[in-house]
Chain A
Amino acid sequence: MTPELVEGVAWKSAAAGALALAFGGAPLGVLLIARRMSLIGDAMSHGILPGAAIAYLLAGPDPIALTLGALTAGFVVAGLSSLLAQTRRLPEDASFAVFYLSALALGVLILGRGARPEALHDMLFGAATALDAHALVLAAVAATATLLAVALFIRGFLAESADPVFMRASGLPGGLLHLILMVLVALNLVAGFRAFGALMTVGLMMIPAAASRFWARGYAGQAGAAALISALASGGGLLLAGRLGVEPGAVMTLCAAALFGVSALFGINRGLLQSLPGRAHLKG
């Protein structure tokens, strides 16, 4: 796949796709981290597997079928876990764990029965050649839908996360917001999973979001910083991957990790260098 990357055509579409995912994923990642749901993306990325696997068995490596299958599975996992979380019998992440682990097992079983072994590998870690026109459109749709939904519902998301007890008493449709958030996560992961792999797409969603906490205090600042970091990591990762002749998903994630390191050290909001002993009160 790498010759195309170097030749430039696929490189351009990979860059466009990654950029769209950066702008869609970053605001979601910041919300998930603020809600202490950092691992939900991870869980969801496993959850979409059986859908993709069933589609693979039925239609072969057809991109539209794979995407639709993954999307269906993502929405089912999102819906079921939201439903179980609403009963408040289990912590949110525990109810998620039940569904995604079951879904993962189902996916492994289905792929093991009929697919070539690389299929599972490709789905988890990606193949940049998969970034065709369909995938680009889906990435653009995911980013647009995410930004629109975040703009519309951000007050509800923030209120429900900061003070769930109060908001439930005030009649906020918390369950609906939870479902919207989960569906958006699923949509972004499905948009990225074929090119960059389900797990690596989560990396680009969560690592920049974690890094953004070192740059801003409020949600808007963090979301902006996360989008920027994610875009930088994607661009840099694609360039490096092209040079090295490897799959870009992992390189992009590692670039994000490097930027996380830089942020943790030099960030202006509680970066490590800022908290060197005596810095503030010995001034002047």
Chain B
Amino acid sequence: MSAVRLHDLTLGYERRPAVHHLDGAFSTSRLTAVVGPNGSGKSTLLKGVAGALPPLAGRIELNGFKHRDIAYLPQDNGVDKQFPITLEDLVALGFWRRRGLFGGLTRSDRARLREAMAAVGLEGFESRAIGSVSGGQLQRALFARVLLQDAGLILLDEPFTALDARTTSDLIDLIQRWPREGRTVIMVLHDLDVVRQLCGDTLLLAREKVAWGPTGEALAPENLLVARRLSEAWSDDPQVCHRHDDDHPAHDEAEHRH
């Protein structure tokens, strides 16, 4: 079963496509990695699925979710670290969808808030100002907020960038539990070792789909080579689509590309 299905999806900015003609599906209750060279459209794809960027063409079909029910952790988290709120306040924003503009936190909300902060190793940091904690602690707090959002679909854009090994492994432990809880996770990653360790499925992207399927097959050396060759040919000029079906094989045919 698929949680998210892409139908001939093209996403981009100012009418310049960044990802072309994607077809395929993200499986429910699976961890799928989105991998590819810089500028290959990985973040753009996540933004599109999150509903923050309308498609230029094609469509995104969400199976049983609304855009608002998705937990999305963008690469540039957008948190204003100068703003005078505490780490706990930041995490508590995860209740927003359920409590709204006026609702206060219930006693059980507070208990869940404490649990979530403990789960990411932030006990004792509740009343620290968000400007006074390290990047790793802030990222832990944002993960705690994802926990509170209790979302069926979780999108993570390079969640381990600039984190130390211990924080990364703590957060990986957390992520690994999500598919077992029935959650679908799509995450942009760079470290292929982490991808192989963590993710059952992989979408290899180079502005178009290079391969999409079980991680071992998708990350085959010939596919990685194709992705690299494609990225070397990119220019800054607006792209014009010349679509030939044999240039865009379905992901199970990807190995026959060359």
A interface with B by C-beta (< 8 Å): 34-36, 152-153, 155-156, 158-159, 161-173, 213, 217-219, 222
Contact = CB atoms under 8 A, between A and B. Distances in A.
Contacts of A161: 80, 83
A213 B84 CA distance: 9
Contacts of A159: 93, 96
B84 A169 contact: no
Nearest to B78: A165
A213 B129 CA distance: 13
B85 A219 contact: yes
Interface residues of B, number: 27
8 contacts: A153-B101, A158-B89, A162-B89, A163-B93, A167-B93, A169-B50, A169-B52, A169-B67
Contacts of A222: 84
Nearest to A173: B101
Interface of A is mostly: helix
A170 B97 contact: yes
A269 B80 CA distance: 19
Interface in B63-86: 67-68, 70, 72, 74, 77-80, 82-86
B101 A172 contact: yes
Contacts of A164: 78, 80
Given A34-B84, A162-B83, A173-B101, 7 more contacts: A156-B101, A158-B83, A162-B89, A162-B90, A163-B77, A164-B78, A166-B145
B101 A162 contact: no
B68 A163 contact: no
Nearest to A162: B83
B147 interface: no
Contacts of A155: 101-102
Nearest to A176: B101
Top 4 closest pairs, chain A to chain B, by CB: A165-B78, A162-B83, A170-B96, A171-B68
Interface in B83-123: 83-86, 89-90, 93, 96-97, 101-102
A234 to B, nearest CB: 24
Given A34-B83, A219-B85, A222-B84, A163 B90 contact: yes
B51 interface: yes
Contacts of A172: 96, 101
A219 B130 CA distance: 13
B97 A162 contact: no
Nearest to B74: A165
B79 A163 contact: yes
A219 B78 contact: no
B85 A218 contact: yes
A162 B50 contact: no
Contact of B72 (A35, A169, A213, A219): A169
B68 A170 contact: yes
Most chain B CB atoms below 10 A, which of A159, A162, A173, A213 = A162
B84 A217 contact: yes
A158 B84 CA distance: 9
A218 B126 CA distance: 13
Contacts of A158: 83, 85, 89
Contact of A217 (B70, B77, B129, B145): B129
A49 to B, nearest CB: 31
A219 B84 contact: yes
Contacts of B101: 153, 155-156, 172-173
A242 to B, nearest CB: 36
A217 B74 CA distance: 27
A161 B90 CA distance: 11
A156 B74 CA distance: 21
A162 B68 contact: no
A35 to B, nearest CB: 8
A162 B67 CA distance: 21
A36 B93 CA distance: 21
A94 B137 CA distance: 33
B79 to A, nearest CB: 5
Interface in B209-232: none
A177 to B, nearest CB: 9
B83 A169 contact: no
Contact of B79 (A35, A162, A171, A173): A162
A159 B145 CA distance: 13
A160 B72 CA distance: 16
Contacts of A152: 102
Contacts of B96: 159, 167, 170, 172
Most chain B CB atoms below 10 A, which of A36, A161, A217 = A217
Most chain A CB atoms below 10 A, which of B83, B90, B97 = B83
A169 B51 contact: yes
Contacts of A217: 84, 129
Most chain A CB atoms below 10 A, which of B93, B102, B129 = B93
Nearest to B129: A217
A171 B84 contact: no
